Amino acid sequence: MTTKPTRPALRRYHAAVWDEPVVMEMSREGRRGVLFPTPEAAVSAAVGSTERLIPAALRRAKRPALPEMSEPDVLRHYLHLSQQTLGMMGISLFGTCTMKYNARVNEAITSRDEVAELHPRQHPDTLQGALQIIHSLDLALRELSGMDRFVFQPAGGADAAYTHACVTRAYHAARGELDTRDEIITTIQSHPCNPATAATAGFKVITLALEENGYPSLEALKSAVSSRTAALMVNNPDDMGIYNPHIKEWVRIVHEAGGLCFYDHANFNGVMSRIRARELGFDACMFMLHKTFGGPKGGGGPAVGAYGCSAELAPYLPGPLVVDRDGAYSLDAGPETSIGRVREFFGNLQTVIKAYAWVRAMGANGIAAAADISVLANNYMTQELLKIRGVTCSHPQVDAWRMEMTRFSLETLERETGVTVFDVQNRMVDFGVDAFWLAHEPWIVPQPFTPEAGEMWSKEDIDTWIAVLAQVCHEAYTTPEIVRTAPHNHPAGRVEGAPLEDPSRWAMTWRSHLKKRANAAG
């Protein structure tokens, strides 16, 4: 006799509520954190008046409106603000982004003077360690992708996609075909940065719709490909966790028409070490160092979209490029055919170092194991989540294991209770877990949510997350008003959207706020 497993008991949770004022409202005239001594007479005589060091046109007419506070006041204020947020230390199964724990040792390393105090205009002889790390990560990503060269200038995935759009433009211009090859093909489920950057680079965008198997058919692709095709830009697997098994045939069709193929590897976590973009025929790909490779994302640090390409496209890469000459590393400005820089210098070095540390710590076996765990965890979640009343998943007719994420839907829940996916988001944070990710626009799946466990979350964490969603869905059917009015255990309630459309009711700066408040009072 087997017993049905029970979900974990939910902990009592309540976020800190400090009712913390805006820092400008805490100012008290004359209060200081640091008192600077009066300079010695000899120093004043040597330097002269400091006002003369600033051109008259740049001098302020009056003192800046800065808060006057003691150091303990400031520390306590920002501690209170941090306690009023969940952040990555909650359970955050943030789908499509492969959110991972950011090792504290990496934060310590990159904050050391040897990294933090570097300047990109230093002579390369003084940058050897940093350049070696950049070059070593380049080699590691070549191994994972099969590409011939990587650059780390792009400041995120969209920037890497834009880099490819510019490389595509330069490639066809060099062949005298840019006037006719003006179309880029993508799919409705590809990340929005692909069509957006293609359009920004001046291309027309052809978007293929999904079909019964969860991806466009070969026939749909063939009908879109022509002598005007400049490139295919696609991610695979998509955010529904469905892998297109015909991807090599897709690449062949586009190549035969004279187009390039770009692999958006934002969803690389479940296929790491299992597939290599170049072996599938792709000409270029990108990796999210700030996601898949353990670098922080968003408020935790700057992003890097590593862009790799074949030797045929390498002449168009943005410089400077790190070159290894018998163990000595130098910066090569790049060929004259380069598209030019897509951002300053060689990108966010700290994130590159963190990604390199992640790769070295994981090793080949660790990366392969992480991919396996990611797929296993997602399919475990899928089986458990589909037991919850009101939850369904995209393309239920697809009888295959999903990859590192699955797109679910609360359409049934909304239809039967009136509770929306936004309501469920708000209520889940009352239990100490981060709100789930929905989906990129446009919503192909109604009322979507897309969790991704990756390899870092424990089974206990995953079970807790599932239990929270089960509890909220149960409340939607039994006491829906609790869900509709959530969150209840946080310092901030629901954001009222109407004032955001009324410039007279919100302000971007403290000065503007004071002015509008005065006008309203008058």
Q: In the numeric block, which tokens belong to residue 173?
A: 């211009």
Q: For residue 17, which of 487, 495, 510 has the smallest C-alpha distance?
A: 487
CA distance 352 to 132: 11
Q: In the numeric block, which tokens belong to residue 252?
A: 């062949």
pLDDT single digits (tens) 339-362: 999 988 888 999 999 999 999 999
Which residues are within 8 A (CB) of 85 and not within 5 positions of it... i.e. 6 or more apart? 15
Which residues are within 8 A (CB) of 52 and not within 5 positions of it... i.e. 6 or more apart? none
pLDDT higher than threshold 80 for residue 522: no
**CB environment 8-27: b (16+ within 10 A), e (fewer):** eeeeeeebeeeebeebeebe
CA distance 123 to 234: 39
Q: Are 146 and 273 in contact (CB under 8 A)?
A: no
Mean pLDDT over residues 12-23, rounded?
Answer: 88
Q: Helix or strand or coil: residue 76?
A: helix
- Sorted by where each starts, the structural domains of the chain and their CATH numbers stand as 108-361 (3.40.640.10), 369-484 (3.90.1150.10), 496-522 (no CATH)
Share of the chain above pLDDT 70, in %: 97
pLDDT of residue 109: 93
Classify strands 328-332 and 204-208 as parallel, antiparallel or unpaired.
unpaired
Residue-by-residue DSSP string for 357-394: HHHHHHHHHHHHHHHHHHHHHHHHHHHHHTTSTT-EES
Mean pLDDT over residues 218-232, rounded?
Answer: 97
Q: For residue 194, which of 232, 242, 250 has the smallest C-alpha distance?
A: 232
pLDDT of residue 456: 87
Residue-by-residue DSSP string for 454-508: TTTS-HHHHHHHHHHHHHHHHHHHH-HHHHHT---SSSS-PPPSGGGG-GGG--S
pLDDT single digits (tens) 457-470: 889 999 999 999 99
Q: Are 81 and 20 in contact (CB under 8 A)?
A: yes
pLDDT of residue 300: 54
Residue-by-residue DSSP string for 16-28: ----PPPGGGG--
Q: Are 406 and 241 in contact (CB under 8 A)?
A: yes
Mean pLDDT over residues 137-151, rounded?
Answer: 98
CA distance 413 to 390: 4
Does residue 493 come out as left (phi exceeding 0), alpha (psi in the -120 to 50 range) or beta?
Answer: beta
Q: How many Cα atoms occupy the beta-carbon half-sphere of 352 within 13 Å?
A: 26
CA distances from 366 to 154, 356, 432, 455 (A): 27, 14, 30, 10
pLDDT band, residue 50 (cuts 50/70/90): confident
Question: Cα-flanking dihedrals φ and ψ of residue 97, to 5°?
Answer: -120, -10
pLDDT single digits (tens) 59-87: 888 888 899 999 999 999 999 988 887 55
pLDDT of residue 4: 58
Mean pLDDT over residues 39-65, rounded?
Answer: 87
Residue with tokens 């000409």: 283
pLDDT higher than threshold 80 for residue 1: no
Torsion angle of the four alpha carbons 236, 241, 244, 248, in this order, in degrees rounded to the nearest 10: 40
User: Taking the CB of residue 275, how many other CB atoms lie within 10 A of it?
Assistant: 18
Q: Which amino acid is residue 6, in one-letter code?
A: T
Side by side, the strands of the sheet bearing 448-449 are: 392-393, 408-409, 448-449
What's the chain's average pLDDT? 91
CA distance 254 to 250: 6
pLDDT single digits (tens) 278-326: 999 999 999 999 889 998 876 556 889 999 999 999 999 998 999 999 9
Q: How many Cα atoms occupy the beta-carbon half-sphere of 130 within 13 Å?
A: 28
Question: Which has more confidence, 181 or 501?
Answer: 181
